[in-house]
Chain A
């Protein structure tokens, strides 16, 4: 198929960016979206032009590095996938596709479609861990039974890949789904109880400090999340925060 791409180009964080039009031809429907961008870039490099910069690494939907805002949706029109898993069969010959970076005040653009998500890391530094020494002097793994349901629900929360689609899609640029997922994972496990109160308070405080907005229960984040992280996690985070505050 032949496509027109409108892509955000921005030289660096201090330059002004703009949308630029490109044409790509003979795109196979079996290509992934990023392979389609590879084809575009190969053409640009052949002409001596600078390729479009974009984040990507594992290309199988788990590292969380890829991050495009495609036709107004984080990770594009498909559900339950990252951009690298989005396939061109979701588009039609002749389509015009708009590609922008994930936009949020807390995610400044580094170049073109590459954004700085280090704010996510700093939220994790504030409490996204259990303070256990890594020396191996712990008790046997089976000494505390954990109900299958709690373990499974913790796992569902823990599958967050930290891509930032929730923030990009939220009208308030809220990071509550991301933070709620981590808080929930530990809140659901006995190992996480000891530091639960401090953890939620510190992580939420850092989240606010980074400039992320608040949640107004629109639910767009849950829809766009490639890993299907549930809104329940935001509710659980709020409950944990309430619990920690009284």
Chain B
């Protein structure tokens, strides 16, 4: 099947408006007879559920957590971008569009990104109307901060808990519709397959995670909003339950999976401390507004710090290497995430890592304490303040901005970041790749949509900070509710979809067979044993830098591991009860397939772009080297084993942006 992105014709700034004016609508009386299933209740799924219900559709929403409020969007810290230009610093829809395409290393679809930038301003209006308590200045207006890869302040925030506040906003909108009976909420449920009838997505098979019951749910359309697949690495900043299962199941039923190798390794995470570690914790990128990143200039100092005979605060300015400021004077500490992560890895690989594992760099706030403190002393009319007073005043400002992050750091690391620099290291954070969708956000299965992080569309090969929240809410509040109507307009006479059909029966039986296999296999190794092994292969061979030999090994190793898993995995407990190990087994089984496709995709993309860095393709300065002949989306069609997947290419054309070497110098 040839890929059709269905991007409307016309000038980029008019595409979305003209398109909306022409697409089919469903009249309110007919919407009452149409059902939509939404899987996942994060920013994308939550906002989509609320808006679809408000429009009049009957929504069934599914979450594996005990409440929609717990989806992992809640953990996003720093902020949400919007081209409001409240700061009057030259921001515009075009500039947000430009920054996002450039930040994505020219690997995203122009029309989708422009639409995202276009609706971004409206998101802020919407959220304020919902009572989201964004940070404000003393005049009562909304405050902004800067994020990596841009030269304007367009990021709105709610302390270091922006994702939480936006998700609770979407949750509150859902609650209003749940109270009206327009959303039927299924908590502690996991989607285990999609049901396709006459070529259209018409329902799902879900497991009640409390009772173990397998349920059939029908609808006229199915929306997947299940987030990213970063947990394929075992250790990531994702929640423990985050998984690829919903996306992978639709892939196996006909949805193409795009650019799986585009993964974001976030530069500012708390370094690992031991083998028992279950997850990694992110420290918001917003910290790079005020923190300076460095390692010692001399290896003797590195050694002394590791041995504990020197403290980082003992080193003078001359003895420190602020390597981002040195390499990228224009953007300094605010280079995009992929660039910052690789630069940290480069220093640590060269032996300059500052903790016992050799995998940590400093993020230092001392300079900002002085900068803010001096300003505060002036504001408060304190003449000749002492250094201690300046530091104290400066720390108060930093505490107000990032207090919860500093507290979180101290609780985990047991060091006070007000007194000594934080230690950070890159960790897997976000997946730009995902299910392929057209301009309508529909997958290659008619009637099956994919929104938010789960799809591939907007961030190319690298996502800029504070753009994930923007995309999730844009898709759910403002894009999908329009585009899905165009499809559902043909369904007004269809009537209720029956679940008593052979298609539902077959899908249900497949799901049950797999569950029965797991609980009866009585093998020798736990699910986590396989998950950790997979994670290690992924991190070592498909991590921050990749090469052909390593990727070929990864493919072989993952394939062998998967075979071992299906012979020797052990799942205690039964099928018809609360069984966390059983749920995990299903998720890891899917990761074991995705991981191999990921490596295959990385192997076949013989260039470096954004988060995908191939050692063979770099400039003499060690920067990513993009190649014109790879200016396309890789969309994979499922054909059984991952090695048999068929590649479809969607060419990427840039008519409104000149494709240039990405430079942050």
Q: A residues within 8 Å of B by Cβ?
A: 11-12, 28, 30-32, 34-35, 38-39, 42, 44-46, 48-51, 53, 55-65, 78, 80-81, 85, 87, 89, 110-111, 114, 116-118, 120-121, 124-126, 128-136, 138-142, 145-148, 151-152, 154-155, 158-159, 161-162, 185-186, 189, 191-192
Contact = CB atoms under 8 A, between A and B. Distances in A.
Given A51-B572, A61-B408, A148-B136, A131 B240 contact: no
B237 to A, nearest CB: 8
B164 A159 contact: yes
Given A35-B276, A87-B411, A159-B161, A130 B581 contact: no
B573 interface: yes
A236 to B, nearest CB: 15
Contacts, number: 218
Contacts of A159: 159, 161, 164
B226 interface: no
Interface string B445-461: 00000000000000000
Given A53-B580, A89-B414, A138-B125, A133 B142 contact: no
Contact of B239 (A38, A58, A81): A58
B239 A63 contact: yes
Contacts of B67: 117-118, 120-121, 162
Nearest to B76: A62
B526 A63 contact: no
A60 B75 contact: yes
Contacts of B139: 145
A191 B129 contact: yes
A66 B545 CA distance: 35
A12 B179 contact: no
Contacts of A31: 274, 276
Given A110-B210, A192-B131, A118 B66 contact: yes
Contact of B65 (A65, A89, A134): A65
Interface in B230-274: 237, 239-241, 273-274
A136 B239 contact: no
Given A110-B210, A142-B86, A63 B70 contact: yes
Interface residues of B, number: 82
B133 A151 contact: yes
A110 B187 CA distance: 13
A192 B169 CA distance: 13
Contacts of B86: 142
B281 interface: yes
B134 interface: yes
A13 to B, nearest CB: 9
Contacts of B129: 130, 132, 138-139, 191
A58 B526 contact: no
Which residue among A48, A53, A120, A155 has the maximum number of chain B CB atoms within 10 Å of its CB?
Answer: A155
B72 A63 contact: yes
B108 interface: no
B278 A38 contact: yes
Given A129-B172, A139-B129, A192-B131, A145 B140 contact: yes
Contacts of A110: 210, 578
B130 A139 contact: no
Interface string B68-81: 01111011000000
A140 B121 CA distance: 9
